[in-house]
Amino acid sequence: MDMTAQSKEWILHSVIFSLKHEKGSEEERRFLEDGQRILTSIPTVTNFQVYKQVSAKNEYNHGFAMEFASQADYDAYNEHPLHVQFVNERWKNEVEKFLEIDYAK
């Protein structure tokens, strides 16, 4: 997104995490792919990215990042049934640890 076009309410939502699954496993691949597929289907989510965390400075393995045009869009995402379902059925069961960071300009 062009920085000059971003609203003052713009939010970058990021979460770094480690899964309970073995690195390189089918379960790990499925979680990352399902997360991307499910969360990008929520209308207010833009520029969704899946990352492999490579720094030796922390113990996390993966990252999801996405952008929202406004606080209202971010709130709509948090309350969206698909997000709530993903968190309750997958995230809480498959994520070992995580750190969530939200940025605004």
pLDDT tens digits, 78-105: 999 999 999 999 999 999 999 999 999 8
Q: Is 35 exposed, middle or buried (0-12, 13-18, 19+ CB in 10 A)?
A: buried
pLDDT digits (tens, 9 = 90+) for 2-58: 444 556 799 999 999 999 999 999 999 999 999 999 999 999 999 999 999 999 999
Mean pLDDT of 69-86: 97
Entry pTM: 0.88
Task: Look up residue 62 and give its DSSP letter.
Answer: E
CB neighbour list of residue 77: distance below 8 Å, 6 or more residues apart: 13, 42, 44, 45, 66, 68, 83
| pLDDT (0 to 100) of residue 4 | 45
Whole-number pLDDT of residue 8: 79
